[in-house]
Chain A
Amino acid sequence: MSRIGSSSANSTARISHRGAFFSIGSRPRLTAQSRGLLLCALPALAFYLFVVLVPTVQGALLAFTNWNGLAKAYSFVGIDNLVKALSQPASLRAVINTIVVAVTFTVIQNIIGLAVAMGVNSRIKSRNILKVLIFAPAVMTPVVVGYLWQYMLAPDGPVNAALRGLGLGSYARAWLGEPGLALGSIIVVLIWQFAGYSMVIYLAGLQGIPEELIEAAAMDGADSFRRFRSIVLPLLAPAVTINLMLSMIGGLKVFDQVWVLTGGGPGGSTDTLSTLMFRDAFTYGKFGNATALGLVLLVLVALISVVQYRASLVRRRKA
């Protein structure tokens, strides 16, 4: 993320400017003359403040008050909401579910995404159609995906029918109806939908690796595992980072698919921070709980971002 903001990229424009035949001063024209041009950023800033920054700060602050959504007056209550929220089994389970979904989804999706990308990045004849086919779910409306899979995973649905057809009838289950299975089923649906997204990012990375490099290693006697581990994987590092970040944050925020597939049920066993927050706020009017859950989500996402940022700094220092 930060590479684009780095100074080396910044200087290209300036150098080319100085080198231009007709430039008179030594400083870029826009700096000297037109700081007022930044006024053009005002509309963007207005939208951004109104929709993102102000309500986010408000939301974070409200988590420390006894605001109830109706009364105009409210007072500071410290971390009461947070303590209350996290001492309730329902909220605690939502926190744990969110982390479980994010981590499992990230790990499995990236393994599958990378494996499929390597399979497609070969001489096979069906590579183009496979790429399109496997990526297609990623652009589909999550609500549609949710209902489609509700049918697929129903007790008498196609998944169980397929299991029975394969003689594995004893493994047929109410995939979304059993508390112990529903969360796992949701993760499977998420992976089905977004594995193609990981795949195309890995594919772009793989296509950037010069084939001579791999051939040279092969000639030096490196077997295919060794080539993967010592050449392909290190060169894929940027793709890995961006993929981990995208799926982790996507997993932490997930709402649509859970809402449609189970609505958080059965018995709250699939609630995530987003779904519980939505229900707490707009069904039960428990605003203290809702804002506290929002704060937890904010902290989790911020943590991931910091870890990711530090990892990319370390990598750049090594490079």
Chain B
Amino acid sequence: MKTYTWRTGILEFFMVFVGVVFAFPLYVLVNISIRQANDPSPAVALTTQPTFHNYVDAWGQAGLGQAMLNSLFVTATSILLIVLIGALTAYVIVRVSSRLSTFLFWLFLCGLLLPFQIAMLPLYFTVRDLGLLGNLWSLVIFYVGGQLPFALFLYAGFMRALPMDYEEAAWIDGATVLRGFWRVVFPLLRAITGTVIILSAITIWNDLLTPLLYLSGTTNTTLPVAIMGFVDQFVSNWPLIFAGLVIAVSPILAAFFVLQRSVIRGFSSGLKG
């Protein structure tokens, strides 16, 4: 299998065909989004007279700008808290060996499996009673609580394999345990922090159900809910809708194409075990 044989050629041909099938919907998405409203050509045909008017209109009429800022705020704030709290908690759970820490680890691990749908109703009423409906912070709290088990699990797995020599050197030099964690251990976790950030960012940015629950009916929505409102408003004006969809999905796709190596590594190794 070291050389490129005729069998490799056949495989290549077949795989490119598979790739084309997978990419076809994406082609249609972009192709329709640059089409003029009165262009009668079939959907599959390449748009020959492209226009970017749809993008201007979609941006202006859909309020996607505000929604994008909201999504950005919610995602960034949640991730900051998830990383800080997740790494520190994993650290003390891994390094303090007691029955309590083992119990805590398993308790958090349950969160990886529990479907949140069952928690959805009681939590909705708690959030309502606290007057947090329509408030972006309710989403932040939700995502931090919901994503922590996952972050903890990743951090804990990584830390168990990390020798204690570095921290001990810091302690010998007079650093407290927390300072040793922050200045010595945390920087060593860079790779896994990257994975946590990427995986949580994709989950949070894309989530529909939670903002639908907590934010719908307000003007203060995140991107997925805003898209739904936008599509309802311009039913079957597909060029305009698709321009909106492209705008909505481009930040995450752009981030993916730039960071593809890390993203794919995160997805393929993140949950290994």
Q: Which residues of A contact B267 (CB under 8 A)?
A: 135, 138, 197, 200-201
Q: In the complex, are the beta carbons of B97 and A28 less than 8 A apart?
A: yes
CB distance from A308 to the nearest CB of B (A): 10
Residue with the greatest number of chain A CB neighbours at <10 A, chosen from B15, B28, B110: B15
Q: In the complex, are the beta carbons of A149 and B26 less than 8 A apart?
A: no
Closest residue of chain B to A274 (Cβ to Cβ) is: B117
Q: Which residues of A contact B253 (CB under 8 A)?
A: 136, 139-140
Determine if B196 is an interface residue (Cβ-Cβ < 8 Å).
no
Closest residue of chain B to A56 (Cβ to Cβ) is: B119
Q: In the complex, are the beta carbons of A59 and B209 less than 8 A apart?
A: no
A246-B153 contact, Cβ under 8 Å, with A13-B94, A132-B260: no
Q: Which residues of B contact A41 (CB under 8 A)?
A: 89, 92-93, 104
Q: Which residues of B contact A157 (CB under 8 A)?
A: 43
Once the chains are docked, how many angstroms separate the CA of A172 from the CA of B183? 62
Residue with the greatest number of chain A CB neighbours at <10 A, chosen from B14, B43, B263, B268: B268
**B residues whose Cβ falls under 8 Å from a Cβ of A:** 1-4, 8, 11-12, 14-16, 18-19, 22-26, 28-29, 32, 42-44, 85-86, 88-89, 91-98, 100-101, 104-123, 125-126, 141-142, 144-146, 148-149, 152-153, 156-157, 159-165, 168, 171-172, 177-178, 202, 205-209, 213, 223-224, 227-228, 231, 238, 241-242, 245, 248-249, 252-253, 256-257, 260, 263-264, 267-269, 271-273
Determine if A96 is an interface residue (Cβ-Cβ < 8 Å).
no
CB distance from A289 to the nearest CB of B (A): 11
CB distance from A21 to the nearest CB of B (A): 9
CB distance from A10 to the nearest CB of B (A): 6
CB distance from A192 to the nearest CB of B (A): 7
Q: A291-B118, A291-B121 are in contact. List 18 more A-B contacts (CB 8 A).
A: A2-B273, A20-B164, A30-B97, A31-B98, A38-B92, A43-B85, A59-B118, A59-B122, A60-B118, A62-B121, A69-B125, A124-B11, A132-B260, A132-B264, A203-B268, A294-B118, A294-B120, A298-B118
CB distance from A224 to the nearest CB of B (A): 11
Closest residue of chain B to A204 (Cβ to Cβ) is: B268
Count A/B pairs, Cβ under 8 Å: 325
Interface footprint category on A: 35 or more
Q: Which residues of B contact A278 (CB under 8 A)?
A: 120, 209
Contact with B along A53-90 (1 / 0, CB 8 A): 11110111010000001000000000000000000000
A123-B8 contact, Cβ under 8 Å, with A12-B160, A147-B241, A148-B25: yes
A37-B12 contact, Cβ under 8 Å, with A158-B43, A294-B118: no
Closest residue of chain A to B22 (Cβ to Cβ) is: A134
Q: In the complex, are the beta carbons of B23 and A246 less than 8 A apart?
A: no
A44-B121 contact, Cβ under 8 Å, with A4-B157, A130-B16, A197-B267: no
Report whether over half of chain A's contact residues are helix, strand or loop; otherwise say mixed. Answer: helix
- Determine which of B24, B29, B123, B172 lies in contact with A55 in the assembled complex, contact meaning CB atoms within 8 Å: B123
- Determine which of B4, B18, B164 lies in contact with A13 in the assembled complex, contact meaning CB atoms within 8 Å: B164
CB distance from A127 to the nearest CB of B (A): 8
A59-B119 contact, Cβ under 8 Å, with A16-B165, A38-B100, A123-B1: yes
Q: In the complex, are the beta carbons of A48 and B257 less than 8 A apart?
A: no
Tell me which residues from 1 to 50 in chain A have a Cβ below 8 Å from any Cβ of chain B.
1-5, 9-10, 12-14, 16-17, 20, 22-23, 28-31, 34-35, 37-38, 40-41, 43-45, 47-48, 50
Once the chains are docked, how many angstroms separate the CA of A149 from the CA of B241? 13
Once the chains are docked, how many angstroms separate the CA of A54 from the CA of B162? 33
Q: In the complex, are the beta carbons of B19 and A126 less than 8 A apart?
A: yes
Q: Which residues of A contact B43 (CB under 8 A)?
A: 151, 157-158, 161
Q: In the complex, are the beta carbons of A126 and B12 less than 8 A apart?
A: yes
Q: In the complex, are the beta carbons of B162 and A1 less than 8 A apart?
A: no
- Stretch of A103-111, A177-185, A228-236, A249-257 lying at the B interface: A249-257
Q: Which residues of B contact A43 (CB under 8 A)?
A: 85, 89
Once the chains are docked, how many angstroms separate the CA of A178 from the CA of B24? 24
Q: Which residues of B contact A242 (CB under 8 A)?
A: 271-273
The 10 closest A-B pairs by CB, nearest first: A51-B145, A55-B119, A294-B118, A58-B122, A4-B157, A204-B268, A47-B145, A44-B89, A59-B118, A200-B268
A4-B19 contact, Cβ under 8 Å, with A20-B168, A41-B89: no
Please list 12 pairs of residues, one from A and one from B, whose beta carbons are closer than 8 Å in the complex, sorted by A's number.
Answer: A12-B160, A28-B164, A35-B98, A50-B126, A51-B146, A52-B116, A55-B120, A62-B121, A147-B241, A148-B245, A151-B238, A256-B207
Q: In the complex, are the beta carbons of B108 and A144 less than 8 A apart?
A: no
Q: In the complex, are the beta carbons of B86 and A255 less than 8 A apart?
A: no
